[in-house]
Structures are given as structure tokens and as C-alpha cells.
Amino acid sequence: MEKLTLENFEQASELVKKVTLPTELVYSEYLSRQTGGRIYLKPENMQYTGAYKVRGAYYKISTMSEEERERGLITASAGNHAQGVAFAAQKFGCRATIVMPTVTPLIKVNRTKSYGAEVVLHGDVYDDACAYALKLAEEEGLTFVHPFDDLEVATGQGTIAMEIIQELPTVDYILVPVGGGGLITGVSTLAKMLNPKIKVIGVEPAAAASLKAALEAGEPVTLPSANTIADGTAVKRVGEKVFPYIQENVDDIITVEDDELIGAFLDMVENHKMIVENSGLLTVAALKKMDLKNKKAVSVLSGGNMDVITMSSIVQHGLIQRDRIFSISVLLPDKPGELVNVATAVANAQGNVIKLEHNQFVSTNRNAAVELRITLEAFGTEHKREIIKALEDVGYSPKEIGAKLY
């Protein structure tokens, strides 16, 4: 384990400045108020390529021989690592081939191509793409750049810890998203070198907790699946080479459910005007699970590459989750004036109608009841209750139903 050295971290920290933007810590008054601590964000979502991955890729390429670079580089990725390697290779003047799953969103494919890389689409998932990339590397003599199970790559990612500690020397906790383990290996190893008192916490999606499983087993294990909206950390097995460093330097692992990421997305958009991808939100969601009173904590926001359709879906689900959008069913007699009565009650309670469906065929006796389904906008749970009570006060019996905006 002598390969990760302070000298290499220092060298990497200087080198990556050539290809990274200064992502200075952002103090979050909102999250600090919620947790009782002093919470800072490390916004790697603001990098040129939208993620931290360029750090490891650039440092890895810098350690290669001229002959290795001249052969050309190859890697497999569905997103952030692809763009990181393509961007770094362009800076070194290397040829880069990126194998991406066939289901990769077009925007990610085009961005990777925009950095001068050749993109090969193969397989349905990352594992298929990776196997094909390794096959091409062997057949064509290309140099493979692993997304996470590589100590030089981990060293480059660890430069994040150097920047955090230089800016906030008294930090108590650093929270790091975990997929394959490259980022947390670099961050935890360097943090412990600089100050053993700093606690490094890994955060994984509950449905893809490969590091938690590995730590419990004492060695990397392969999960049966990794089905999570945090696609950047949907890794079934952590890296073999990096695992010993994680065992030694990581203090704890927290798992986060997908539903919790939805709320964290809204928090970032509304309170910090930031777009952070689901994997990057893991550390924000984890804050609520920790006792951080009077502590200084840094949440690493690992990336911000999210397509607009996904963003739209998460906002919709988040608003429903927080009772800012809800639907009710109201039964009322089919006679003139009833619709006005309902609308007046809602308006008096400051509710805003988004969608309305009037179903006359819910009962064979239309004089007894027709159904009105209303989707409403509210300020939150308390306001929702006030709207429902306003309808009850004028004689209706509204029932809450699943909200849909389409």
C-alpha cells in the first residue's frame, strides 16, 4: 500500500489545476440550519466536464510513458468518466476511444465526441461496454484507463481533499459519494495523511451498496443488481486495488434511498440554484442521517450531468413528495353551481388548480354523485390540509388520491 504517497498527491494537486476550475467551498445556510452544524458544499458539478472525473483521468495520463500515450487510450463509461478521459486526452494530444452502452443518452455521447474522442456504442450496461473496451484494448494495443480501480486515478481524485483542507483546515467530516471506490480512496487516504482526526464518510445508494457489502464481507463482493436513479454510482462491485485503502481510511458508510435524493435535488435547486446529478446528491441526503451539531462538514457534489427529461421527472416527484402538488377526488351532485362551490372553497384557501377532471359516469345515479378529480398546488403539507378542510367545511368529503401531472 505504499503506492499512494503524499508526494504523488501533492504532484497531482498541482497538475490538475491545468484542467480544473477552482471549485471553492460554498457555505450552506439552509443545510446548516437543518443539521445544527456548519455545512459546506464542494461543487465539482461546476467543472468543465460537469464532474470531478477529469482529475483522475488527467493525472493518470500524466504518469504514462510517451509510448503508452501514442498507442491511444480506451475506456468504458456511460457518462462522467467518458467525458473526463476525452477531455484529458485532448489536452495531452492523445487519441481516445470511449465505449459507451447503447442506451447512453445522446447528449452524453455528443459531449464526449465534442472533446475529440471516438465513441463506440456497445452493450446494454456498463459491464458489457467495459468487457468490449478491454477486448479492443488487447486487439488494438490501446492503453486502458479504468474508471475507479486504479491507484493513479484515485490519486487524481484525491486532490479534492487537498483543496478542501487547504480552504477549511478545521473540517470535521468529509462526505463522499461511492460507486466503484476511486474517489473515496483518494479523498480518505489523503485526508488521513494530512489530519487523522478528519472523519471520511462514504455514501452509497441503498440499492447499490457494494462498498457496504464488501466491508461486511472483508473483501469485494458482486451485488446481484444495482438498480438506482443514482446511475453514476450504480456499481455492483468495488475495485480490488482500491479496497484495502478504503478499509483502512474510511470511517463509516451511509446508505440513501432513491426517494431521499429527490428531496435533495429540490433543496439544491431552490436554495443554491445548482443542478446536481443524483449520485452527487448522495452526500446532501446523508446529512440528515448524521449528528453534526457544532461540527464542520463538507459534502462533495461529485457531478451535475443530468438530462432535462430526468430533471423534469425528479422535480415533479419532489413536489408531490413534499405535498406541494396533490390530487383529491370529490363526489358532488350533478347540478348547476356545484363546480363553482368547489372552486370558491379552493380559492378561499389560496389553493391553485393545476388540472381538473369531471367524471359524470362514476355512478349510475348522476343526481346522487359525479366525481371531480382536482390536482392542486400548495405551499406544503400544512397548506394541503387547510385546502382539504376548506372543502369539508362547505359539506364535501374530499379523498386524497395519487397525484399525476399528465
Active site residues: 53, 302
Secondary structure percentages of the chain, helix, strand, coil, to 5: 45, 20, 35
Please list, residue by residue across 385-405, b when 16 or more beta carbons sit within 10 angstroms of its beta carbon and e when fewer do.
eebbebbeeeebebeeeebee
Task: Classify the phi-psi angles of 115: left when phi > 0, otherwise alpha if psi is within -120 to 50, otherwise beta.
Answer: alpha
| C-alpha triplet 398, 401, 404: angle, nearest 5° | 125
Integer Cα distance of 145 and 53 in angstroms: 12
- At 298, which helix (H) or strand (E)? strand 296-301
Integer Cα distance of 22 and 156 in angstroms: 15
- Cβ burial of 312 (10 Å; 0-12, 13-18, 19+) is exposed
What is the SS3 assignment for 83-97? Answer: HHHHHHHHHHCCCEE
Integer Cα distance of 84 and 86 in angstroms: 6
CA 331 from centroid of its chain's CA atoms: 42
DSSP conformational letter for 142: P
Task: Classify the phi-psi angles of 323: left when phi > 0, otherwise alpha if psi is within -120 to 50, otherwise beta.
Answer: left
Sole residue written with cell 485532448: 90
DSSP conformational letter for 46: G
Tally of CB atoms within 10 A around 206: 15
Q: Which of 120, 21, 27 is nearest to 78 (CA)?
A: 120
